[in-house]
């Protein structure tokens, strides 16, 4: 299967429009060895023609223009995107649905009942799309039953419930239910290889660890290096853990788990603009390089 990383930044992207942090400022001035990143989204195909979009970011328009396989090719109105899968209802993962409203038929959207609830109440994008061609909702269960998507030939999907946080507008905020956040195991049925994708991960439970151990590639929450990164830069008082993201560098952080894995290729995604690992010449990036942990960038391709 071919995994294409459309957007590797966290909410806000890099640089973020109103941010003057050490990274955003230096990126604008050309004083940092790094590249801009759009907001969190990937796309996967086994046949190279039908692409499953994971998360629809506010940057989807530019992301489609950056990747010809998603562009119209067969009819006057057309897309290479055959279905949309959502990991959660966060703004950075769902706002692109509005941008995609001109689709000539209902979108096949795969998400949990908890995300569906947010999308019809706190952030009622599905209701709004009902005034266009609508949403053909396919419920993704949290019991880890594998499922397939018609047209997405050769791919088998499993949703894995994750401990994280529901969005600020969710009825489940601070009182999460299974399905507010899920990761996905995606297996290529011909090669037998699998990817584990989890852009928002607050706690690595044993069940999640097993999926990570078994994966050929883990593409995992790279939001922050330290839990207090936002307050450290004077941005806000929220810690990453309050937002449902596990930091990389602390004891019990993401790096410690990644270091314990022997099988998979390890790649960080959903990287916040404050994260020092965005600077390719930073000490933090060197720590990752030495550990064999990759930092994703927009346009990166993974074949497995």
What single string gives the DSSP state of each residue in 237-293? S--HHHHT---SSSTTSHHHHHHT-SSSEEEEESB-TT-GGGSTTSHHHHHHHHHTE
Q: Which does 170 bind (CB under 5 to 8 A by kind): ligand MLT, Mn ion, Zn ion, none?
A: none
Residue with tokens 């990937």: 42
Q: Which one of 7, 9, 11, 253 is in contact with ligand MLT (CB under 6 A)?
A: 11
Q: Which of 224, 215, 267, 277 is closest to 247 using CA atoms? A: 224
Write the interaction track for ligand MLT spanning residues 69-98; mark x where CB under 6 A is met and - where it is not: ---------------------xxx------
230 binding Zn ion? (CB under 5 A): no
Q: Which of 180, 199, 108 is closest to 147 using CA atoms? A: 108
- HSE, CB side, 13 Å, CA atoms: give it for residue 150: 5
Q: Which does 243 bind (CB under 5 to 8 A by kind): ligand MLT, Zn ion, Mn ion, none?
A: ligand MLT
Phi-psi category of 270—alpha, beta or left, where left has phi over 0 and alpha has psi -120 to 50?
left
264 binding ligand MLT? (CB under 6 A): no
Q: Given the complex with Mn ion, which of 4 and 270 has the nearer CB atom?
A: 270
Q: Which does 273 bind (CB under 5 to 8 A by kind): Zn ion, Mn ion, ligand MLT, none?
A: Zn ion
220 binding ligand MLT? (CB under 6 A): no
CB of 260 to Mn ion, least distance (A): 25
Q: Which of 274, 278, 273, 281 is closest to 295 using CA atoms? A: 278
Q: Which one of 243, 258, 271, 295 is in contact with ligand MLT (CB under 6 A)?
A: 243
Task: Please report, as residue ranges, which positions from 24 to 83 form the binding site for Zn ion (by CB under 5 A).
Answer: 24
Do 96 and 90 contact (CB within 8 A), yes or no?
Answer: no
CB of 153 to ligand MLT, least distance (A): 31
58 binding ligand MLT? (CB under 6 A): no
For the four alpha carbons of 61, 168, 266 and 268, in that order, the dihedral sign comes to: positive
CB of 13 to Zn ion, least distance (A): 10
């Amino acid at each position: 299967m071919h995994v294409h990383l459309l957007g590797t930044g966290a909410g806000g992207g890099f640089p973020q429009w109103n941010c003057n942090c050490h990274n955003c400022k230096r990126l604008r001035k050309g004083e940092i060895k790094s590249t801009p990143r759009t907001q969190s989204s990937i796309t996967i195909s086994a046949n190279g023609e039908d692409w499953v979009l994971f998360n629809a970011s506010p940057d989807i328009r530019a992301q489609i223009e950056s990747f010809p396989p998603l562009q119209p090719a067969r009819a006057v109105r057309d897309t290479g995107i055959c279905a949309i899968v959502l990991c959660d209802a966060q703004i950075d993962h769902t706002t692109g649905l509005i941008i995609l409203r001109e689709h000539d038929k209902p979108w096949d959207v795969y998400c949990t009942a908890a995300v569906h609830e947010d999308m019809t109440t706190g952030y009622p994008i599905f209701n709004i799309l009902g005034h266009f061609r609508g949403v053909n909702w396919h419920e993704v269960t949290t019991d880890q039953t594998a499922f397939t998507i018609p047209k997405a030939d050769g791919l088998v999907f499993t949703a894995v419930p994750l401990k994280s946080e529901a969005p600020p507008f969710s009825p489940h905020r601070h009182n999460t239910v299974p399905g507010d956040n899920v990761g996905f195991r995606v297996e290529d049925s011909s090669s037998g290889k699998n990817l584990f994708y989890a852009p928002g991960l607050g706690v690595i439970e044993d069940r999640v660890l097993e999926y990570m151990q078994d994966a050929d590639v883990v593409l995992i929450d790279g939001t922050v290096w330290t839990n207090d990164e936002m307050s450290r830069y004077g941005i806000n008082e929220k810690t990453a853990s309050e937002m449902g993201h596990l930091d990389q560098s602390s004891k019990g952080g993401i790096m410690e788990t990644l270091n314990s894995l022997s099988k998979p290729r390890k790649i960080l995604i959903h990287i916040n603009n404050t994260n020092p690992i965005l600077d390719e010449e930073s000490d933090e990036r060197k720590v990752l390089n030495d550990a064999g942990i990759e930092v994703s960038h927009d346009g990166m391709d993974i074949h497995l």
